[in-house]
Homo-oligomer: A and B are copies of this chain.
């Protein structure tokens, strides 16, 4: 019998909300939100992303991202410039201040994750990440099903 509290979406949401809340408190002294942290960390990993890439990467909706980047440009954390090769497209980059903050916060995030998994073996941590990736890949099947089967017909 299926129970909410042992379902994968429930467990994901519960852990994600909890970890997000705790890390958000870490970000508060820097005047940053979790979304801003994700943008900084994403750009530190992959500089010069387009707005749409950044939205996909961070699971933040495109129009939200557009406004968020405006805020972050105003705060001196990132730059936004049109591409010479395609004038529809913008390229987002870290400023030096953005890089400085990103380095600090990524170190905090690493420590934070280390503590969170301190009761697990390295093999378990690898397994967890691998399984999360595999389920994510399988969501494409779910999406395909959505378009073929009507709701209530399951």
Contact = CB atoms under 8 A, between A and B. Distances in A.
Given A106-B2, A113-B7, A135-B128, A16 B18 contact: no
Interface residues of A, number: 70
Interface in A100-154: 104, 106-113, 115-120, 124-125, 127-129, 131-139, 141-143, 145-146, 151-152, 154
Given A119-B138, A136-B14, A139-B15, A107 B154 contact: yes
A153 B5 CA distance: 36
A108 to B, nearest CB: 5
A141 B118 contact: yes
A45 interface: yes
Given A17-B59, A108-B154, A116 B131 contact: no
A20 interface: yes
Contacts of A146: 22, 25-26
A49 to B, nearest CB: 12
